[in-house]
Amino acid sequence: MRELFLQPEIQSFQTFAEFVDAHHIGQGDLVLTNEPILPHFQADLPKDIPVICTETYGQGEPSDVMFEAIQADAARYAYSRVIAVGGGTAIDIAKALCAADGRNLDELFDAEPSSLKRTKTLYCLPTTCGTGSEVTVTAVFDRTRKGTKMGLTNYALGTDYAVLIPSLLTSLPASVFGSSSIDALIHAIESYLDGLQATAASRMFAEKAITMILPVYRAIREKGMEERKNHLLDMQLASTFAGIAIANALPSASHAMGYPFAGKFHRPHGEACYVFLDATMQKYLRDVQAGRVTLEQKQVWENLMRLLSEALELPGASDGEILKELDALLGVMLSRKRLKEYGATPQDCIDFGKSCYANQQRLMACAFTPFTEQELIETFQSVYA
C-alpha cells in the first residue's frame, strides 16, 4: 500500500527575480500567466521570452475552448519548459499543454492513460492560496461540449517544480484570497475524510493545512481583511500541504457538486465548493449520529471534530456546534449565497444532481458516506433558497 505520493520538487524564493536567476530562465521557455499578475513580475523576465495570458482566450475557469486556442498559439514557439504563473486556470492549462502533444481536450480525456506523457518541463508558481494544483496530477476543465466541469488525473499532468513566492500574492484581492483559501481548506477536510485512499501520511498534510488556515481566519475576523497580508507564506504553504493531501486522497462531495454548478454559472472553484460544504458535512453528521458508519469511519470523524475544535478554540463543543462555528468563520472570508441568488431554478437542482451522479463518480466514490442520486438532488435543493 502506498503511504504517500510526492512528485514535484517544492522550492521557495523571496522574489521572482531570484527564481529567474536560480533556474536560468530565458530562451526556450514559455510563460503562461494571467493579465492582472503579469505586471508584478514582467520586469524580471528576459525580453525574448514569449508570454501567453489566459484572459486573451476567455475569462474565468479553464475550458476546453480556452485550452485548445492557447495550444494552437503556443505551437508557434520553440520551447522545452513552461512556466505557469497564476491560479488554477494558468496552472491546469499548462499541465495539459505539457502532455497534450497536439491533442484536443476531448482526446486527452478519452486517451488511454498510459499514452499520456509529459514532454515539457513544467514550473508552477501559484499566485493564489487555494488550488494546490502545483503539487497534484489533476487538471480541471469546463468541458463545454459536455456541459460540466471534470477533472483529468494522470501522472503526465504532474509538475516538475512547485515554486512558492509569497510576494506574488500581495496584490491578491480579498475576495480571491477568501475563495481560494476556502478551496484549500475544503481540500484538507474532504481528503482527511476520504475512506478509500487516505493514509496516516496524507492525513498529516491535511491536518497541518487545517491547523494553519483556521487560526489565520480567526485573526482576520478579529483584525480585518488587511490582516491576511501578514500570513501570505503560511497560507501558500497551507495550500500546498492541502494539495499534497488531495494528490493522495481526493476531495469529494462538495467539489463534485461544485462542478456542474460552476460550469453553468461560471463561479470561482473555491466559491462553488463552499456553497455545498456545510450541506455535505451536515449529511455526514446525520449519518454518524444514525450509526450508518463503521467503527473506523466513526474514529476518523471524531478525530476531525477534535482537530476542528482545537483550531477553532471550541473545547468541549458538540459536533453540531463545531460545524456551525466553521460555517460562520468561513462566512467572514466569503459570503455564501443560496443557489437561487445565482439565478438557479428548481429544475437546475434536479439537473445538477443527475449530472453530478453521472459524471463525478471519481470524486463521489471518495465521499465519507455514500450519496444516492436522490440524495444529491436533495442536497442541491437544501441550498437552493
Asked whether residue 238 carries a pLDDT value surpassing 90, the answer given is: yes
pLDDT of residue 149: 83
66 in the same domain as 184: no
Mean pLDDT of 77-102: 96
pLDDT of residue 59: 87
Mapped onto helix, strand or coil, the DSSP state of residue 160 is coil
Question: Is there a contact between 209 and 180 (Cβ–Cβ < 8 Å)?
Answer: no
pLDDT of residue 304: 98
Asked whether residue 373 carries a pLDDT value surpassing 90, the answer given is: yes
pLDDT of residue 171: 86
Asked whether residue 60 carries a pLDDT value surpassing 90, the answer given is: no
- Kindly state whether residue 225 falls inside one of the protein's structural domains: yes
> Which pLDDT band, with edges at 50, 70 and 90, does 146 fall under?
confident
- Kindly state whether residue 1 falls inside one of the protein's structural domains: no
Which stretches within 101-134 are classed as H helix?
Answer: 105-110
pLDDT of residue 7: 87
Q: In sequence order, what are the residues at sequence separation of 6 or more whose Cβ sits closer than 8 angstroms to the Cβ of residue 62?
A: 54, 88, 89, 92, 93, 139, 140, 141, 142
Q: Identify the burial level of 273 via C-beta atoms within 10 angstroms of its C-beta, where 0-12 means exposed, 13-18 middle and 19 or more buried.
A: buried
- List the grid coordinates of 54: 489566459
Lowest mean pLDDT among 1-5, 51-55, 75-79: 1-5
Q: Identify the burial level of 103 via C-beta atoms within 10 angstroms of its C-beta, where 0-12 means exposed, 13-18 middle and 19 or more buried.
A: middle
- Kindly state whether residue 2 falls inside one of the protein's structural domains: no
pLDDT of residue 27: 94
Average pLDDT, the chain: 95
pLDDT of residue 56: 95
Asked whether residue 330 carries a pLDDT value surpassing 90, the answer given is: yes
Last-in-domain residue among 139, 154, 169: 169
Question: Is there a contact between 247 and 136 (Cβ–Cβ < 8 Å)?
Answer: yes
145 in the same domain as 60: yes
Asked whether residue 28 carries a pLDDT value surpassing 90, the answer given is: yes
Asked whether residue 147 carries a pLDDT value surpassing 90, the answer given is: no
Question: Is there a contact between 364 and 257 (Cβ–Cβ < 8 Å)?
Answer: no
pLDDT of residue 133: 93
Domain count, the chain: 2
366 in the same domain as 232: yes
Cα 134 to Cα 123: distance, rounded to the nearest angstrom: 8
pLDDT of residue 263: 86
Asked whether residue 225 carries a pLDDT value surpassing 90, the answer given is: yes
298 in the same domain as 227: yes
Asked whether residue 32 carries a pLDDT value surpassing 90, the answer given is: yes
**What is the span of the domain harbouring residue 372?**
174-382
Cα 97 to Cα 168: distance, rounded to the nearest angstrom: 23
Cα 339 to Cα 373: distance, rounded to the nearest angstrom: 19
> Which pLDDT band, with edges at 50, 70 and 90, does 178 fall under?
very high
- Kindly state whether residue 4 falls inside one of the protein's structural domains: no
Last-in-domain residue among 150, 169, 188: 169
- List the grid coordinates of 56: 486573451
